[in-house]
């Protein structure tokens, strides 16, 4: 499997298929394999595309060193841009990513919007005001791992309620080496999305996918992003069946962008009305 050497990191990635390039990311403590098992391999429906999948630094097969700042979202965005320059030089790509992956895409698109043809942002995580509470959880989790070990952290996680959309999915342990996990958690605790007025400068067509019943991925973040980014539709999954529609929604969106069809209005739409249309 190919790798890319970066500062304090070696990214593991794969490229499949041929055609317009797509890059798929994953969330915190996940990896490529867990994306597939968890129903978040949204590039699966994109036949006729060259798809790049990779494990973020310290996740899955990607090596890293214990420097907390390396898991700040702007740094992960730099990793992504270096990878794109290596595997798709000069080609605008379709970016797809959940949670940490969505945050990485937003930072990367803000830094270099010309690198992206479209963005599919899935289950955006806590941000701005809601990030403070999540940051505290990450810091306490890091201390728990250090004091009592990985099994204590896993036992605590089992008691947390799961979003209805993934209620039928098996959980998986962190795709991070236990010795590195506290560092990664502290890095995640210290990062956030850019302000909304900065994000509003991203002119890339955007699809937003969210699910309900998840305090770590609140609908408030998805609604705020939908209001300032180009596009209109916000699709909210409340059941496993609705989650299963996401690869098709993503494929339709990407193909519409490529064909220059009107994808969505760029005018902000009232979030309550938008959620009513999407069945949330």
Per-residue model confidence as pLDDT tens digits over 219-235 = 999 999 999 999 888 99
Strands (E), 38-140: 50-55, 63-64, 93-98, 116-122
Residue 102 near residue 73 (C-beta atoms within 8 A): no
Q: What is the mean pLDDT of the chain?
A: 92
pLDDT band at 263 (very low <50, low <70, confident <90, very high): low
Q: For residue 221, how far is the Cα from the chain centroid? A: 13
Report the C-alpha gap between 22 and 80 in whole angstroms: 12
> Which architecture characterizes domain 3-278 according to CATH?
3-Layer(aba) Sandwich (3.40)
3-state secondary structure at position 176: coil
Residue 62 near residue 9 (C-beta atoms within 8 A): yes
Query: What per-residue confidence (pLDDT) applies to 170?
Result: 86
3-state secondary structure at position 50: strand
Indicate if the pLDDT at residue 280 is higher than 50: no
The tens digit of pLDDT for each residue in 121-161 reads 999 999 999 999 999 999 999 999 999 999 999 999 888 88
Beta pairing, strands 9-16 & 63-64: antiparallel
Torsion of CA 64, 69, 73, 77, to 10 degrees: -60
The tens digit of pLDDT for each residue in 163-195 reads 999 988 888 899 999 999 999 999 999 999 999
Residue 176 near residue 59 (C-beta atoms within 8 A): yes
Query: What per-residue confidence (pLDDT) applies to 274?
Result: 38
Beta pairing, strands 93-98 & 116-122: parallel
Q: Which long-range contacts (CB under 8 A, 24 or more apart) does 56-59 make?
A: 56/11, 56/25, 56/26, 56/31, 56/100, 56/101, 56/104, 57/6, 57/8, 57/9, 57/11, 58/9, 58/176, 58/177, 58/180, 58/183, 58/184, 59/26, 59/29, 59/30, 59/31, 59/175, 59/176
Complete DSSP assignment for 159-172? TS---GGGTTSPP-
The tens digit of pLDDT for each residue in 43-52 reads 999 999 999 9
> What is the model's pTM?
0.93
């Amino acid at each position: 499997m190919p790798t890319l050497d970066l500062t304090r990191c070696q990214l593991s990635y794969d490229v499949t298929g041929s055609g317009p390039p797509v890059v798929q990311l994953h969330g915190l403590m996940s990896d490529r394999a867990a994306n597939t098992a968890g129903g978040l391999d949204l590039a699966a429906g994109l036949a006729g595309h060259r798809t790049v999948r990779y494990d973020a630094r310290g996740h899955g097969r990607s090596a890293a060193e214990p420097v907390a700042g390396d898991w700040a979202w702007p740094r992960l965005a730099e990793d992504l841009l270096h990878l794109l320059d290596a595997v798709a030089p000069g080609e605008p790509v379709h970016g797809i990513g959940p949670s940490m992956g969505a945050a990485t895409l937003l930072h990367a698109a803000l830094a270099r919007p010309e690198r992206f043809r479209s963005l599919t942002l899935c289950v955006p995580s806590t941000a701005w005001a809601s990030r403070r509470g999540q940051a505290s959880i990450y810091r306490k989790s890091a201390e728990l791992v250090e004091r009592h070990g990985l099994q204590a952290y896993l036992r605590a996680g089992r008691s947390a309620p799961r979003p209805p959309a993934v209620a039928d999915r098996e959980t998986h342990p962190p795709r991070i080496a236990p010795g590195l996990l506290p560092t990664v958690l502290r890095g995640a605790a210290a990062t956030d999305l850019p302000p909304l007025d900065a994000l509003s400068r991203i002119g890339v067509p955007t699809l937003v996918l969210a699910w309900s019943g998840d305090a770590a991925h609140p609908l408030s973040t998805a609604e705020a992003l939908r209001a300032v980014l180009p596009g209109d539709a916000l699709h909210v999954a409340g059941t496993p069946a609705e989650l299963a529609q996401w690869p098709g929604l993503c494929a339709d969106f990407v193909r519409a962008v490529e064909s220059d069809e009107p994808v969505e209005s760029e005018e902000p739409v009232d979030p309550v009305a938008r959620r009513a249309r999407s069945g949330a």
